[in-house]
Structure 1
C-alpha cells in the first residue's frame, strides 16, 4: 500500500491572534503548510512554527496565497501574472529564512484558498504560480489537486508534483472541491472524516457530494487546521490509518 502523508495548514494567525493549534497539530501531521504572511501569518509566527516543525521532524511547506489578510485568502482576486509570480517567490523566500534558521528548509509549495481553487483551471494564474516557484527554487515540489492545471504546468516545467486529497471537504463529480459557500462543503462529522481518510488512502476513491464514486489518487491527505477540534480529529485519522496498515510518512 502506498504511504500517505498528512498535511495541515499552520501558522494561520496574525500578531496576538491565533487560529490554529500549531503545537498540537505538529505532534500528528508529517507536513506543515505554513502561512507566509499574505492570507495569514507574520514573521514571528513563521519563525515559531518553523522551529516547532524542525524539532519534531515535520516537513515545512510554503503555503502561498493572494495578498488578502482581511479575507483570509479566500476571496477571488485578479492579480497580473508577473505580480503574482513575484509575490509567490517572495512568500517562499520569507519562509525560507526562518526554516533555515531552524536547521530545516522549505520542502514544498502549496497554494491556499482562492488561489488553490483558481489554479485548478486557470492556466494563466497557474503558470504564474509555477514561475514564482521556479524563481524561488527550481527543485521545489508543488502540492495540489490531481488533474489541476497547476500540477500539469509544474510537471512540464520540471518541478516535482505531489497530488493531495481532502478528508474534510466535499468533492464534485469532476473531482474538484465543492465551494465553501455551498452547504455541506466542509465535512465536520469526525467519523465521516475518518472513514473518508481510510477510503482515500486505501482505494484512491471517495464519494462525491452527489453520491457518485470518483477517483482521487493522492500521496498526501490534508486536514484543515481551522476546523473545530482539529487536533483530536487529526490524531484519530492518523491512529485509524496506522491501525489499518497504512504507513504515514512525509512525501518530501
Structure 2
C-alpha cells in the first residue's frame, strides 16, 4: 500500500499522504497540496466519528440483547439473572446515551468545519473572479473607450451601407433591357411550345388510328379463321358420314346381294 501511495504522490501528483492522512488533489489543481495541521485534525475527527458510530451500533445491539436476556430470565422465574441483565442494560443505555451526545457534538463540529472550508473556497474563488474581472475591464478600457469603439463601429457600418447602395444603383442601371426584345423572345418561345403540343397531338391521333386499323385487321383475321374452322369442321363431318355409309354397305349382306 505504501508503494502505491508513494507512486501516486511522486509520479502522478494526485495525492499527498503521511502516516495518518491521505489528501487527494482537487479537480482544479495541478498537484495535490501538502498536508496541513488542519487536514490532520479533520482526518482525526472523521476517524473519531466513525469509531463512535461503531460503538453506538454495538451498544444498541447490547441493550437489545440484555433486554431479551432479562425477559427470558423472568420467563424462567430467575429473578437474580433478570436483575443482573437489567442492571447491565441500564449501564449500557447510559453509556449509549453519552456516546450519542458526544457523536452529535462531533458531527456538529465537523459540519461547522465543512461550512468554514466551503466559505474559504468561496472567498478564494471570489478573489480569483475579481482579478479576472479587473483584467478584463482593463482590457476593455472603461466606458469611454467602449463608446469610442461603438461609435467607430457605427461609422464603419454606415460606410458599408453606402457602398451597398452604390453597388445596387449600378446593378439597376446595368439591368435595363429592351422590353420589345423580351416580348419577341417570349412570343417565339410560346409559339414553339404550341407547335410542340400540336405535333404531339397529331402523333397521338395517328397512333390511335393505327391502333384502330390493327384491331380491325386482327378482328377480320379472327373471323376468317373462325369461318375456315367451321368449314373444315363441316367438311370433316361430311367425310365421316360418307365413311360410315360405306362401312355399312360393305358389312350388310342384303346390300351386297342387291348390288350383285
Q: Structure 1 length as normaliser, TM-score?
A: 0.18
Higher RCO (Cα < 8 Å, 6 or more apart): 1
Structure (1/2) with the larger helix percentage: 2
Please identify which structure carries the higher strand content: 1
